[in-house]
Amino acid sequence: MDSLPDNSLVVSVGGQIKYMSGQIFYKFRQASDFWYLTGFEEPDSAVILEKNSSSKGYRMTLFCAGKDSAKEKWEGARTSFQDAVAHFKADDAQPVSKFPSVLKTLAASFSNVYMDAPPNSRRGRGLSHKAIMKYLSFSNSSSRSEFENFVDSVIPSKRQSLAPEVAKLRSIKSDPEKTIMRKAADISGRAHAKTMRFTNPDMSEHNIASHFEYLCAMQGSQRPAYVPVVASGANALTIHYTANNQIVHNGEMILIDAGCEYNGYASDITRTYPVSGKFSSAQAALYSSVLTVQKKLITMCTEAANISLSELHRESCILMRSELNRIGFNLHGATGMGDVERVLYPHYVGHPIGIDLHESTHFDRNAPIRSGMVITIEPGVYVPAASNFPTAFHDMGIRIEVCPTFLMFSITNAKVVASQDEVLVGKDHPTILSVNAPKEIADVEGACQGLLDLSPF
């Protein structure tokens, strides 16, 4: 509220229940921005913040369902209006049915109205008339024509998008957020290590995915942060392979891109390891190339380096080409770089992560990364069976992803292999959040073969 101009009104709406089929609903997850602003976890809720000259600087009104003993008997307890004030620090709490009329009245007296389309809207951002009507329609206290009048007369001249303002705040993690994200990455990292041990030839990818999710859930994760990729052999060439229904064979590698959500925050880790527990020499060579690229990139994840995500990506392509040439590829000139960027490594180097897996919508890829950001670093290589690439590497896919983190963790001591790690950007050094997922070849093989002590996990 401090950062917004005087005479500003902020409106944020919560999520609504989504249905798998008919009346069969999915487990509810709150809309991210609304949750960030309120911490309130009930569906069909909304908040209005009015900038004012009080010592707090604003007035907060929370709209929610309130108590209803008949419904609570079926669906569980709800927060009373009194408790919404006491526990969520609202100045006032009102039934959500009042939301449209309160909004209409307030919008008329403020010069700037920050609001977004509802989170379930396909349009995602910006405000269409249809989205606004849907947004207001969870109360049936007003007629559609009133909504239309509201949209036409009040909103278009004053409205601003709220999401970019909230994104600025969300991109820099507070200390409590860092602690939770470290825990989320720990749970996922340990689950990766244990899943390496669990994997044996002739299992299904589904068994392996289930085992990973079970391990995370048993450690307190509320849900996976995304549908996991568990891709054996050539399936790894499909970047977002999520069928996860094939048998894994001896001699293949398996790529797992999986992470849990823990207390509202996502984790995102990728590891690639041999089904047999031992890399072949070609697998080890390709893996080492990706790992080398990844480790070099992580050392650049500092504020002091004054580097943007775009520059990191560009750097990752150059490093990847040089590493692949070192092991026998022939990637020279514009054609060679084209092969790297379009065929062998066709995705981006990473993305910001936090409450959402991809907090990228309003992230400026061309601005320098700053201390307190968490971004993933996930170079990969996917070699099709094409005659211009060395036969030994055909049909291999490797990605290593980490989230660099917040711990005072020197990169020189970081053990990292072909995987996707989460990196916390620090002033002078990055911290790898996902340190518990083995990354060096010896560590990966050790985890697969049961030689790593997983007991503290």
Is the CA virtual torsion 403, 404, 409, 411 positive or negative? positive
Write out the DSSP string of 260-290: EEETTEE--EEEEEETTSS--HHHHHHHHHH
Helix (H), strand (E) at residue 405: strand 401-405
Q: How far is the CB of 373 from Mn ion (least distance, A)?
A: 14
Given the rule CB under 5 A, which residues bind Mn ion? Answer: 268, 376
CB of 7 to Mn ion, least distance (A): 40
Task: Count other Cβ atoms within 10 Å, centred on residue 368.
Answer: 15
- 213: tokens are 């999710």
C-beta closer to Mn ion: residue 244 or 376:
376
| C-beta of 261 vs 268, nearer to Mn ion | 268
Which residue, judged by CB position, is nearest to Mn ion in the bound state?
268
Please give the structure tokens belonging to residue 306: 């004054």
Nearest CB to Mn ion, comparing residues 186 and 268: 268
Nearest to 298 by CA among 455, 131, 416, 177: 416
Nearer to Mn ion, 43 or 259 (CB): 259
**Cβ within 8 Å of residue 56, ≥6 positions away:** none
Minimum distance, C-beta of residue 395 to Mn ion, in the bound complex (Å): 23
Instruction: Say which DSSP state 349 is in.
Output: S
Residue 300 to residue 419: CA distance in whole angstroms: 17
CB of 112 vs Mn ion, minimal distance in Å: 35
Minimal distance, residue 29 CB to Mn ion, in Å: 19
> Which residues touch 455 (CB under 8 Å, ≥6 apart)?
none
Measured from the CB of residue 358, what is the shortest distance to Mn ion in angstroms? Answer: 7
Nearer to Mn ion among residue 303 and residue 356 (C-beta): 356
**Which is closer to Mn ion, CB of 232 or CB of 420?**
420
